[in-house]
Amino acid sequence: MAFRGIRVIGDPVLRTPCEEITRIDDRVRALVADLVETVDAEGRAGLAANQIGVSLRAFSWNLDGEVGYVLNPRLVKVSEGIQDGDEGCLSVPGLWFPTRRATYAKVEGIDLDGAAVTVEGEGLMARCLQHEVDHLDGRLYLDRLDRDVRKGAMRQVRELM
Protein backbone atom coordinates (compact mmCIF):
# COMPACT_ATOMS: atom_id res chain seq x y z
CA MET A 1 0.00 0.00 0.00
CA ALA A 2 1.12 3.51 -0.74
CA PHE A 3 -0.24 7.00 -0.33
CA ARG A 4 -0.15 8.30 -3.91
CA GLY A 5 0.22 11.80 -5.33
CA ILE A 6 -2.77 13.38 -7.06
CA ARG A 7 -2.69 14.30 -10.75
CA VAL A 8 -3.97 17.82 -11.40
CA ILE A 9 -5.83 19.48 -14.23
CA GLY A 10 -3.69 19.64 -17.33
CA ASP A 11 -2.50 16.05 -16.95
CA PRO A 12 -3.86 14.13 -19.97
CA VAL A 13 -4.70 11.04 -17.88
CA LEU A 14 -7.59 13.01 -16.36
CA ARG A 15 -9.18 13.52 -19.79
CA THR A 16 -8.75 9.94 -20.99
CA PRO A 17 -11.60 7.45 -20.46
CA CYS A 18 -10.39 4.61 -18.24
CA GLU A 19 -10.25 0.98 -19.36
CA GLU A 20 -12.37 -1.79 -17.88
CA ILE A 21 -10.60 -4.13 -15.49
CA THR A 22 -10.63 -7.51 -17.21
CA ARG A 23 -8.47 -9.46 -14.78
CA ILE A 24 -8.18 -9.09 -11.02
CA ASP A 25 -4.53 -9.66 -10.26
CA ASP A 26 -1.90 -8.35 -7.85
CA ARG A 27 -1.66 -5.10 -9.80
CA VAL A 28 -5.39 -4.43 -9.33
CA ARG A 29 -5.23 -5.43 -5.66
CA ALA A 30 -2.34 -2.99 -5.15
CA LEU A 31 -4.31 -0.27 -6.97
CA VAL A 32 -7.29 -0.74 -4.64
CA ALA A 33 -5.03 -0.66 -1.58
CA ASP A 34 -3.46 2.59 -2.84
CA LEU A 35 -6.87 4.13 -3.62
CA VAL A 36 -8.20 3.27 -0.17
CA GLU A 37 -5.09 4.53 1.62
CA THR A 38 -4.92 7.73 -0.43
CA VAL A 39 -8.61 8.61 -0.01
CA ASP A 40 -8.43 7.99 3.74
CA ALA A 41 -7.16 11.46 4.55
CA GLU A 42 -8.98 14.45 5.98
CA GLY A 43 -10.98 16.43 3.43
CA ARG A 44 -11.15 13.64 0.86
CA ALA A 45 -14.50 12.20 -0.22
CA GLY A 46 -13.62 10.24 -3.35
CA LEU A 47 -10.70 9.28 -5.56
CA ALA A 48 -10.66 7.81 -9.06
CA ALA A 49 -7.78 5.67 -10.31
CA ASN A 50 -6.82 8.14 -13.03
CA GLN A 51 -6.33 10.79 -10.35
CA ILE A 52 -3.32 8.76 -9.21
CA GLY A 53 -2.19 8.11 -12.78
CA VAL A 54 -3.78 4.70 -13.42
CA SER A 55 -6.19 4.55 -16.34
CA LEU A 56 -8.38 1.72 -15.00
CA ARG A 57 -12.06 1.88 -13.95
CA ALA A 58 -11.85 1.94 -10.17
CA PHE A 59 -12.56 4.46 -7.46
CA SER A 60 -12.66 4.72 -3.68
CA TRP A 61 -14.70 6.86 -1.32
CA ASN A 62 -14.44 8.13 2.24
CA LEU A 63 -17.76 9.45 3.56
CA ASP A 64 -19.32 9.48 7.00
CA GLY A 65 -16.65 7.19 8.40
CA GLU A 66 -17.06 4.62 5.60
CA VAL A 67 -14.18 3.92 3.25
CA GLY A 68 -14.86 1.70 0.26
CA TYR A 69 -14.10 1.00 -3.39
CA VAL A 70 -15.71 -0.33 -6.54
CA LEU A 71 -14.21 -1.75 -9.73
CA ASN A 72 -15.74 -1.22 -13.18
CA PRO A 73 -18.45 1.09 -11.83
CA ARG A 74 -21.39 2.01 -14.04
CA LEU A 75 -23.83 4.72 -13.10
CA VAL A 76 -27.13 2.84 -13.50
CA LYS A 77 -29.63 5.17 -11.90
CA VAL A 78 -29.99 8.82 -10.91
CA SER A 79 -32.98 10.67 -9.56
CA GLU A 80 -34.84 13.40 -11.37
CA GLY A 81 -34.39 15.56 -8.29
CA ILE A 82 -31.41 17.91 -8.44
CA GLN A 83 -29.03 19.16 -5.76
CA ASP A 84 -27.12 22.34 -6.45
CA GLY A 85 -24.16 22.86 -4.19
CA ASP A 86 -20.50 23.70 -4.28
CA GLU A 87 -18.26 20.93 -5.54
CA GLY A 88 -14.50 20.65 -5.48
CA CYS A 89 -11.93 18.17 -6.70
CA LEU A 90 -8.50 17.01 -5.59
CA SER A 91 -7.38 17.41 -9.22
CA VAL A 92 -8.55 21.04 -9.28
CA PRO A 93 -7.09 22.05 -5.91
CA GLY A 94 -8.50 24.95 -3.94
CA LEU A 95 -11.42 25.74 -6.24
CA TRP A 96 -15.10 25.11 -5.50
CA PHE A 97 -18.00 25.90 -7.80
CA PRO A 98 -21.78 25.35 -7.77
CA THR A 99 -22.42 22.09 -9.61
CA ARG A 100 -25.78 20.48 -10.32
CA ARG A 101 -26.02 16.76 -9.58
CA ALA A 102 -28.86 14.30 -9.07
CA THR A 103 -29.91 13.99 -5.43
CA TYR A 104 -29.71 10.17 -5.66
CA ALA A 105 -27.30 7.94 -7.58
CA LYS A 106 -26.72 4.21 -7.90
CA VAL A 107 -23.53 2.57 -9.17
CA GLU A 108 -22.99 -1.10 -9.96
CA GLY A 109 -19.62 -2.79 -10.32
CA ILE A 110 -17.55 -5.57 -8.77
CA ASP A 111 -15.21 -6.08 -5.83
CA LEU A 112 -11.78 -7.75 -5.70
CA ASP A 113 -13.42 -11.19 -5.64
CA GLY A 114 -15.37 -10.41 -8.80
CA ALA A 115 -18.65 -10.32 -6.86
CA ALA A 116 -21.33 -7.83 -7.87
CA VAL A 117 -21.38 -4.62 -5.83
CA THR A 118 -24.05 -1.94 -5.63
CA VAL A 119 -23.27 1.43 -4.08
CA GLU A 120 -26.02 4.01 -3.78
CA GLY A 121 -26.86 7.08 -1.82
CA GLU A 122 -28.32 10.52 -1.58
CA GLY A 123 -26.78 13.91 -0.99
CA LEU A 124 -23.01 13.84 -0.67
CA MET A 125 -22.77 10.13 -1.54
CA ALA A 126 -24.81 10.71 -4.73
CA ARG A 127 -22.55 13.63 -5.62
CA CYS A 128 -19.44 11.52 -4.97
CA LEU A 129 -20.63 8.59 -7.09
CA GLN A 130 -21.45 10.84 -10.04
CA HIS A 131 -18.20 12.81 -9.67
CA GLU A 132 -15.99 9.69 -9.59
CA VAL A 133 -17.72 7.98 -12.53
CA ASP A 134 -17.25 11.23 -14.47
CA HIS A 135 -13.51 11.00 -13.72
CA LEU A 136 -13.39 7.46 -15.07
CA ASP A 137 -15.13 8.69 -18.24
CA GLY A 138 -12.46 11.38 -18.70
CA ARG A 139 -14.58 14.28 -17.40
CA LEU A 140 -13.97 16.84 -14.68
CA TYR A 141 -16.69 18.52 -12.66
CA LEU A 142 -15.77 21.78 -14.39
CA ASP A 143 -17.35 20.33 -17.56
CA ARG A 144 -20.73 20.32 -15.79
CA LEU A 145 -20.71 23.95 -14.72
CA ASP A 146 -23.17 26.45 -16.14
CA ARG A 147 -21.60 28.33 -19.05
CA ASP A 148 -21.01 31.62 -17.22
CA VAL A 149 -19.66 29.93 -14.10
CA ARG A 150 -17.43 27.68 -16.22
CA LYS A 151 -15.91 30.69 -17.98
CA GLY A 152 -14.86 32.23 -14.67
CA ALA A 153 -13.75 28.87 -13.31
CA MET A 154 -11.46 28.23 -16.27
CA ARG A 155 -9.95 31.68 -15.85
CA GLN A 156 -9.14 30.80 -12.23
CA VAL A 157 -7.72 27.42 -13.28
CA ARG A 158 -5.39 29.11 -15.79
CA GLU A 159 -4.18 31.49 -13.06
CA LEU A 160 -3.29 28.52 -10.86
CA MET A 161 -1.35 26.71 -13.58
- Beta-carbon neighbour count of residue 93 at 10 Å? 11
Check whether 131 is labelled as a binding-site residue: yes
Q: 40-78: per-residue pLDDT in tens? A: 887 789 999 999 999 999 999 999 889 999 999 999 999
- 16: Cβ–Cβ under 8 A, 6 or more apart, which residues? 50, 55, 138
Check whether 128 is labelled as a binding-site residue: no
The whole-angstrom separation of Cα 95 and Cα 81 is 25
Instruction: Identify whether 132 is a catalytic site residue.
Output: yes
Predicted model pTM: 0.94
The whole-angstrom separation of Cα 54 and Cα 66 is 23
Instruction: Give the pLDDT of residue 3.
Output: 76
Residue ranges, the chain, pLDDT below 70:
1
Residue among 42, 66, 80, 132 flagged as catalytic: 132
* Exposure letters 58-89 (e unless 16+ CB within 10 A, then b): bbbbbbeeeeebbbbbebeebeeeebeeebbb
- Beta-carbon neighbour count of residue 154 at 10 Å? 13
Check whether 34 is labelled as a binding-site residue: no
Instruction: Give the pLDDT of residue 1.
Output: 61
Instruction: Give the pLDDT of residue 61.
Output: 97
